[in-house]
Structure 1
Amino acid sequence: MKLQFRVGLRTIKTGIAVAIALGFSWYVFGIYSGMGAVAAIVAMQPTIHRSFKIVFNRIFGTILGLVCGLAVVATLGANPLTIGLAVIVSLVFNSMIGRTDMSTFAAFAIVLMFESPTGDYAHYALTRSLLTVVGVLSAVAVNYIVFPPHYEDRLLLFVKKTTKQLMEDWRSLVKDDSKLLAVRKQVLKHEEMIIMLQEDQKYPLVASGQSEAFIQLKQLVDLEDKLLLLLESIASHRDLPMSEEQEKALGQEIDFLLSHHYDVIFSHERNQPMFTFDQEISEVKDIINGHLLDYREQLEKMK
């Protein structure tokens, strides 16, 4: 088995954020606690938007959990049953206020609070809350300032690779559902990356999701999806009776569209329209024809 050694930017940034959090813990608070480091790891998300979202969930979830834990301990004392009760109280409260996304952080904070070597749970809870804040803010700052996420170039390479596979192998793909499913998983990843790009459009250090380059990239992903939908439609109806002439006409129509699709992806700086379409539509089954038209229309948008 061949091992691949690759260190991504997010991996490096996670290490930097952890080092900052532990540095604060050691040099500012005079203790060594992994709570801030764990918070930094959780908050290092693939997009700036998701990192900021974690800030709220992590900080307020931790504070809520610690408050519930202190209230239960002050009332009933500290033992395994009261710790379990404190977790239940925090989870129920999160559900009541409609913030179940904070539940895990609240429960996590309660369990860690009782690791205090002394009975001063309030001081221990306050210190760990501050370390949590330091950890998530360290992650957000590093993620935002140090090589902020840019997915455009990588996504374009992925789209070109997948689309080229669809173009070259479409006749064999429509005969193999497992191969089509594998390609669908790739396209879903591309669509997820488009969503991540859109999420960060508010942040000036990150490439804007409103830029012309992003709009064109989104169109390419949409076009890739239309082509895959067409092939999936043909595959799901491959048992329908079709004459040899109809099969030939359909193949020619798809090849015609694919040639222009290729131009859209691999050609640059055109001063004239890239292509025109005939009005004639191949005589194929309606459901396949619908996806064929969708694919056509998406290509038209790329003129």
Structure 2
Amino acid sequence: MKLGARILKTGIAIVLSLYLAYLLHSPSPVFAAIAAIFAIQPTIYRSYLTIIEQVQGNIIGAILAVVFVLLLGNHTIVIGLAAIIVITLNLKFKLENTIGLSLVTLISIMEAPGSDFITFAAIRFSTIMIGVFSAFIVNLVFMPPKYENKLYLKIGSTTEEIIRWIRLSIRHDYDHQLLKTDIGKLKENIKSIEQFYTMYKEERSYFKKNLLEKSRKLVVYRQMTIAARKGLDTLKRIHRFENELLLLPEPFKEAIQEQLDSLIYQHEQIMLQFIGKIPITTASPVEKVSTDKKLLFDLFLVHQKEFAADDDNQHLYHTMQIVASIIDYSEQVEHLDVLITSFHSFHHNEISIEEESNQ
């Protein structure tokens, strides 16, 4: 188990919030620590959004707590009713992420009213806000990891794994159960890529040049993700309809294998071109991606005519799915090639991926 940055930041935020609460002589510093746990975020931008939402949510919780105690007291049923209204208001104002801390604020204020209740409520509210601001400070001081590195390396490793399995699958040289397990893992990897993409997108750029470069990178990374997903779809079709592949005429099988070999090789080359490990070629994308979609389609039509009189067309339908997924995958790789070539025409030698950060 790795000690992630967010785990470390959470611990530091708790320490800082408790220290500040003790320093300011807060009677209940534990509430500052609880607030810090709720408020810690993986990126500075999310932390900024969180602090705005948490302030709003805590104000809602604090105001309702004061109103309910002054009007109805702090009976258990009253606290429950106030909690329902707090949740409703947070949902109404689209502050779903603040519901937990709003309820903490509400209960912490309502649970022990005394003769000087307003002062008590203000102190509790301030203590909780100490925790929120402590988390924000930690997010500012302890810079988040380079999500671009994590994003590219995750895309790269996932793409490599997909390509490796496609290469084995079209030769029918693999363990079925192992591939089935790995397909599930690859699906999870795609979800992780989406999360890293969102975090990288949320990172702020403060200079116009960096903003333009990042905007173009986002387009490229999005297409890399789409291409990887289409590759995974192709792999799933090959795995699911392996029997149909085996029953195809030999020329058709050989054509599928050759086209897929060419396609996954080109996909590998394009990924390396992006980070400058191999030079960008001057050939057009159509020339570089040598998948012959017309050949595959023509072979399928010939195959379709052979099965035209057959009442059971399941084999034909499954073959059509395989061919369609290969063509779709090919088109996405072609588009990725166009985007990367275009990117490098604007930004020369500006891709810096630290491979060791994946370890």
TM range (shorter): 0.7 to 0.9
* Runs of 5+ consecutive residues of structure 2 not aligned to the other structure: 301-319, 342-359
Moved more, 77-86 or 194-203: 194-203
For residues 267-298 of structure 1, what are the alpha-carbon distances to aligned partners after superposition, in whole Å with 9 as ceiling and x for unaligned? 52515347713473223525334423333423
Shift of 1:96: 4.3
Q: Which residue does the alignment assign to 1:113?
A: 109
Q: Does 1:276 align with 2:288?
A: yes
Secondary structure at 1:272 match in 2: coil
Rounded to whole Å, the distance in 1 between the matches of 2:227 and 2:3 is: 32
Rounded to whole Å, the distance in 2 between the matches of 1:161 and 1:74 is: 60
Q: Does 1:291 align with 2:328?
A: yes
Shift of 1:130: 1.5
Question: For the Cα contact (< 8 Å) 1:233–1:288, is it kept in 2?
Answer: yes
Aligned match for 2:186, one of 176, 183, 186? 183
* Runs of 5+ consecutive residues of structure 1 not aligned to the other structure: none
Question: For the Cα contact (< 8 Å) 2:269–2:278, is it kept in 1?
Answer: no
Rounded to whole Å, the distance in 2 between the matches of 1:97 and 1:146 is: 31
Rounded to whole Å, the distance in 2 between the matches of 1:221 and 1:79 is: 54
Q: Which residue does the alignment assign to 2:126?
A: 130
Q: Which residue does the alignment assign to 1:223?
A: 227
State the one-letter code of the partner of 1:295.
Q
Rounded to whole Å, the distance in 2 between the matches of 1:104 and 1:9 is: 23
Secondary structure at 2:288 match in 1: coil
Shift of 1:258: 1.1
Cα 1:242/1:123, change in 2 over 3 Å:
farther
Q: Which residue does the alignment assign to 1:194?
A: 197
Rounded to whole Å, the distance in 1 between the matches of 2:131 and 2:60 is: 17
Rounded to whole Å, the distance in 1 between the matches of 2:6 and 2:94 is: 31
Shift of 1:178: 4.1
Aligned match for 2:59, one of 42, 53, 63? 63
Rounded to whole Å, the distance in 2 between the matches of 1:161 and 1:133 is: 42
Shift of 1:173: 8.4
Question: For the Cα contact (< 8 Å) 1:44–1:143, is it kept in 2?
Answer: yes
For residues 28-49 of structure 1, what are the alpha-carbon distances to aligned partners after superposition, in whole Å with 9 as ceiling and x for unaligned? 1343422221221222111222
Rounded to whole Å, the distance in 1 between the matches of 2:95 and 2:152 is: 37
Q: How does 1:67-216 map to 2 (within 5 A)?
A: 67-116=63-112, 118-170=114-166, 171=169, 172=174, 176-202=179-205, 210-211=213-214, 215-216=219-220
TM-score by length of 2: 0.72
Structure of larger gyration radius: 2
Shift of 1:216: 4.3
Shift of 1:89: 2.6
**Between Structure 1 and Structure 2, how many residues are aligned?**
297
Secondary structure at 1:148 match in 2: coil
Higher helix share goes to which structure?
2
Q: Does 1:265 align with 2:271?
A: yes
Cα 1:289/1:269, change in 2 over 3 Å:
closer
Question: For the Cα contact (< 8 Å) 1:87–1:107, is it kept in 2?
Answer: yes
